[in-house]
């Protein structure tokens, strides 16, 4: 995933659902997905219009930190050991295996006394839930949520999304992939590995040159001598046929 605004909205929506409501106020950094211009000691800054709309839809106030004043933010060093723990499993887990491990770590950490507050997070959350606003209705939430789509790569090294087909490298033929669609692009994952990126298209078939050439080489469709040239000619003809 990326640090884009669409991903940020989806992650915040997930967090609110996990907490069981929306807080009165959210303290943020001056990142570009939230602020068009930073808040400083001499300026209130300018909140991004899309983020302001998101905040209004969910009913919370945006409170940006003053730039270059680290004391206004919570400590972030302590949770870094969790990342070190996850890094030990790098490349060894499927996407769902990673999600399950992260849930176990969350449950463990939320059940321990926090060194900064002296409280057990999961117990303290119970006392704070009455102060949370209700989640907005699904009609408001749905446009902000990123949904995983599942697809299977066929023998032509293509998968389907909304009636159109898109390519991946041919070594993934027969495998199931996960699609995440945001920022007008289809992000294609096999487990946690990003294997392809396609702009959402109205074309029926969408091969990249690299994927089609690799497929032609694997299936021995053309002689190696003029393989790339013939493959590109075929791609052009294929595009014209579907236009």
Flag whether 218 is in a domain: yes
Residue with tokens 């590995």: 193
Flag whether 111 is in a domain: no
Residue with tokens 């839930």: 129
Which token pair is 35?
Answer: 């602020």
Flag whether 37 is in a domain: yes
Question: Is the entire prediction scored with pTM above 0.75?
Answer: no
Distance in angstroms (rounded) separating the CA atoms of residues 60 and 135: 11
Flag whether 83 is in a domain: no
Q: Kindly state whether residues 126 and 154 are assigned to the same domain.
A: no
Residue 127, number of CB atoms within 10 A of its CB: 9
Query: Is the pLDDT confidence value at 77 over 60?
Result: no
Q: Kindly state whether residues 67 and 152 are assigned to the same domain.
A: no
Q: Kindly state whether residues 30 and 120 are assigned to the same domain.
A: yes
pLDDT range class, residue 115, cuts 50, 70, 90 = confident
Flag whether 189 is in a domain: yes
Distance in angstroms (rounded) separating the CA atoms of residues 130 and 155: 54
> What tens digit of pLDDT does each residue of 147-202 get?
889 999 999 999 999 999 999 999 999 999 999 998 889 999 997 788 999 999 99
> Is there a contact between 208 and 235 (Cβ–Cβ < 8 Å)?
no
Flag whether 27 is in a domain: yes
pLDDT exceeding 90 applies to what percent of the chain? 53
Flag whether 166 is in a domain: yes
Flag whether 136 is in a domain: no
Name the domain count of the chain. 2
Which of 83, 107, 131 terminates a domain? The answer is 131
> What tens digit of pLDDT does each residue of 198-236 get?
999 999 999 998 998 898 888 776 666 677 777 778 777
Q: Kindly state whether residues 214 and 156 are assigned to the same domain.
A: yes
SS3 236: helix
Looking at residue 68, its pLDDT comes to 77
Written as one string, the DSSP assignment of 179-218 is: EEEETTEEEEEETTEEEEEEE--SSSEE--HHHHHHHHHH
Pairing type for strands 164-167 and 158-161 reads: antiparallel
User: In sequence order, which residues have a C-beta less than 8 Å from that of residue 239 and are 6 or more positions away?
Assistant: 203, 205
User: What mean pLDDT do residues 106-123 have?
Assistant: 88
Dihedral class, residue 92 (left if φ above 0, else alpha if ψ from -120 to 50, else beta): alpha
Looking at residue 242, its pLDDT comes to 55
Looking at residue 69, its pLDDT comes to 75
Q: Give the domain extent around 173.
A: 147-242
Query: Is the pLDDT confidence value at 84 over 60?
Result: yes
pLDDT range class, residue 76, cuts 50, 70, 90 = low
Range list of β-strands (E), the chain: 25-28, 35-37, 46-47, 61-64, 149-152, 158-161, 164-167, 176-182, 185-190, 193-199, 205-206
Residue with tokens 């392809």: 196
Q: Kindly state whether residues 219 and 123 are assigned to the same domain.
A: no
SS3 132: coil
- Burial label, 228 (beta-carbon count in 10 A; 0-12, 13-18, 19+): middle
Mean pLDDT computed over every residue of the chain: 87
């Amino acid at each position: 995933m990326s640090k884009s605004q669409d991903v940020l909205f989806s992650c915040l929506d997930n967090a609110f659902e996990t907490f069981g409501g929306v807080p009165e106020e959210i303290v943020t950094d001056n990142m570009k997905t939230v602020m068009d211009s930073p808040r400083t000691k001499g300026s209130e800054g300018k909140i991004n219009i899309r983020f302001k709309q998101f905040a209004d839809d969910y009913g919370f106030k945006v409170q940006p930190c003053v730039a270059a004043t680290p004391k206004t933010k919570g400590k972030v060093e302590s949770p870094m050991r969790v990342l070190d723990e996850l890094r030990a499993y790098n490349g060894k887990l499927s996407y769902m295996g990673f999600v399950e491990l992260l849930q176990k770590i969350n449950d463990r950490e939320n059940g321990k006394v926090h060194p900064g507050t002296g409280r057990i997070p999961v117990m303290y959350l119970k006392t704070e839930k009455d102060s949370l606003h209700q989640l907005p209705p699904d009609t408001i939430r749905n446009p902000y949520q990123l949904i995983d789509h599942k697809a299977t790569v066929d023998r032509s090294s293509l998968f389907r999304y909304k009636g159109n087909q898109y390519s991946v490298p041919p070594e993934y033929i027969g495998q199931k992939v996960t699609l995440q669609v945001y920022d007008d692009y289809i992000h294609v994952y096999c487990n946690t590995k990003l294997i392809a990126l396609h702009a959402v298209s109205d074309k029926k078939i969408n091969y990249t040159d690299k994927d089609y050439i690799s497929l032609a080489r694997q299936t021995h469709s053309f002689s190696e001598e003029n393989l790339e040239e013939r493959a590109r000619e075929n791609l052009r003809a294929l595009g014209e046929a579907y236009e």
